[in-house]
């Protein structure tokens, strides 16, 4: 299995709304598209005064990651849905993708 961990450095004062939109709008769309969301939320620590958030997703393989991600981000549901509310609050983002076991994904699972 593949775990993808995304971190987001957010524009000042946007963290609460970013996390709300992610949880209430973006995550349901991701799950409807067949993408497993392991967890998301606000970071416990702010770097340099910036609010930060994270998203952890699981995929069966690297190929599945590419296929599902491309289909999701090209979809009308994303582009005409929460995309602007999410993207407009991000100053920068970083993504890592790694091999992991189901046990590790379950250890992160809170959603």
Question: Does the pTM exceed 0.85?
Answer: yes
Are 11 and 52 in contact, with CB atoms under 8 Å apart? no
Residue range 97-103: mean pLDDT, rounded: 89
- Number of domain units in the chain: 1
Other CB atoms within 10 A of residue 101 CB: 10
pLDDT over threshold 90, residue 47: no
pLDDT over threshold 60, residue 111: no
The boundaries of the domain holding residue 39 are: 2-108
CATH number, position 76: 3.30.70.100
d(CA 51, CA 81): 23
């Amino acid at each position: 299995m593949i775990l993808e961990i995304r971190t987001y450095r957010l524009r000042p004062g946007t963290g609460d709304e970013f996390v709300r939109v992610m949880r209430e709008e973006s995550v349901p769309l991701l799950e409807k598209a067949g993408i497993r969301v392991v967890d998301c939320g606000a970071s416990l620590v702010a770097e340099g005064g910036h609010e930060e958030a994270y998203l952890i997703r699981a995929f069966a393989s690297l190929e599945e990651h590419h296929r599902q991600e491309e289909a999701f981000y090209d979809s009308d549901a994303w582009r005409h849905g929460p995309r602007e509310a999410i993207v407009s609050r991000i100053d920068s983002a970083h993504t890592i993708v790694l091999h992991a076991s189901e046990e590790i994904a379950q250890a992160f699972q809170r959603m």
